Amino acid sequence: MGRYIFGRIGYMLITFFVIATFTFFLMQTLPGSPFNDERLSETQKERLYERYGLDEPVPIQYVKYMTNIFKGDFGVSFQYDGRAVSDIIGERIGASVVLGAQSLIFGCIIGLILGIIAAIKHNTAIDYVAMVIAVIGLSVPNFVFAGLLQYWVGVKLQWLPVAFWEGFEYSILPTISLSVFVIATIARFIRTEMLEVLGQDYIVTAKAKGLNQFAIVMKHGIRNAAIPIITILGPMTVSLLTGTLVIEQIFSVPGLGEQFVKSIMTNDFPVIMGVTLFYSILFIGVVLIVDILYGVIDPRIRLSGGTK
């Protein structure tokens, strides 16, 4: 197992290197410059270029940048005058992570329940209702839900705050809006998987032992049905973290997504690069975790081997 993870980390480094290189050269092709302010004179601009090392030829910039990131230095921001990129990310990441994690957990639990109920009550009214909910969740964009929640729960009923980030109750509405997509995806997936698992021979075996439906689903069903779910969990986690940007805007949450949009507007290369690389590390890390999780849930692909 240790060897396996070690190898995987090696691959992760290579992947990371490729992504860093690719984004770096992509940045070079972006039109415009970070210092496009009309108030700046030519000499001022030149001095700024010099200060941030932008006057040097591209290959040299590249080598410098790459050596710096492997030292853990992502450079300094252009728009915030010399603030380290890692500081900016660190400051903003908290809200995004809390929001993403809450939506994922909430979405998975509700989605799981909905999907299992739909599978057990296959082809009944309950099943159809659950699936209609799922389809709505998939097809209606989350900012629509966000707006509706703000209007009804926030403004009309006055139950919860509609904006800002000052405590748990502030996170409830954005979490719900974000998790609608998760609920819908998980519910549909679990329903399909569960239906297949419930048709397997070992479920009949369990039934022949005299177990009741509840025990069968909980003990024999969920674990087997969850195996394929793990696959979509990885990309979903990342899309939650990156996908928070609209929701963050709507609820004025000071998260990373909001910062990302701002940086693109101002051609703040170091921050764009930094956030992109941060996301890719996250993604690669999640994929690794998912693969390890597979082994935990499904003993057949446990890599430690065992007696054959």
Partner 1 sequence: MDKILDVKNLQVSFDTYAGEVKAVRGVSFHLNKGETLAIVGESGSGKSVTSKSLMKLIPNPPGRITGGEIIFEGKNLVNYTEKQMQKIRGSDISMIFQDPMTSLNPTMTVGKQIMESIIKHQKLPKKQAKEKAIELLEMVGIINAHKRLTAYPHQFSGGMRQRVVIAMAISCNPKVLIADEPTTALDVTIQAQILELLKNLQKKMGTSIIFITHDLGVVANIADRVAVMYAGKIVEIGKVDEIFYNPQHPYTWGLLGAMPNLNEDAEELITIPGSPPNLLNPPIGDAFANRNKYAMKIDYQIEPPMFKVSDTHYAATWLLHEKSPKVLPPDALKKHRQVHSKERKKERLSKKRVKREKLLEIKNLKQYFSSGSNVVKAVDGISFEIFKGETFGLVGESGCGKSTTGRTIIRLYHATEGEVLYNNVNIHDKKSSSESQKLNQKIQMIFQDPYSSLNPRQTVADIIAEGMDIHGLAAGKKERLEKVYELLETVGLNREHANRYPHEFSGGQRQRIGIARALAVEPEFIIADEPISALDVSIQAQVVNLMKKLQKEKGLTYLFIAHDLSMVKYISDRIGVMYKGRIVELAESEELYQNPLHPYTRSLLSAIPLPDPETEKTRKRVKFDEKFVWNGNGEEPVLREVKEGHWVSCTEQEFHDYKKHFDAI
Using CB under 8 A, list all residues that contact partner 1. 200-202, 204-212, 219-220, 223-224, 227, 297-300, 306-308
Cβ atoms 251, 174 nearer than 8 A: yes
Shortest Å, Cβ 127 to partner 1: 14
Cβ atoms 193, 217 nearer than 8 A: no
CA separation for the pair 5, 237 (Å, rounded)? 21
Residue type, 6: F
Shortest Å, Cβ 284 to partner 1: 23
Instruction: Name which of 68 and 200 has its Cβ closer to partner 1.
Output: 200
Nearest to 229 by CA among 179, 201, 195, 192: 192
Instruction: Name which of 156 and 300 has its Cβ closer to partner 1.
Output: 300
Site of tokens 């009214």: 125
Site of tokens 């109750």: 169
Instruction: Name which of 66 and 195 has its Cβ closer to partner 1.
Output: 195
Q: What angle do CA 49, 52, 55 make, to 5 degrees?
A: 45
Shortest Å, Cβ 11 to partner 1: 16
Shortest Å, Cβ 203 to partner 1: 8
Shortest Å, Cβ 233 to partner 1: 17
Cβ atoms 123, 173 nearer than 8 A: no
Shortest Å, Cβ 208 to partner 1: 4
Instruction: Name which of 32 and 210 has its Cβ closer to partner 1.
Output: 210
Shortest Å, Cβ 292 to partner 1: 16
Instruction: Name which of 51 and 223 has its Cβ closer to partner 1.
Output: 223
Instruction: Name which of 133 and 297 has its Cβ closer to partner 1.
Output: 297
The CB-side HSE value for 149 (13 A sphere, CA atoms) comes to 23
In sequence order, the β-bridge partners of residue 134 are: none
Instruction: Name which of 153 and 297 has its Cβ closer to partner 1.
Output: 297
Please report, to the nearest 10 degrees, the dihedral formed by the alpha carbons of residues 201, 192, 239, 97 taken in order: -70
Shortest Å, Cβ 200 to partner 1: 6
Instruction: Name which of 127 and 298 has its Cβ closer to partner 1.
Output: 298
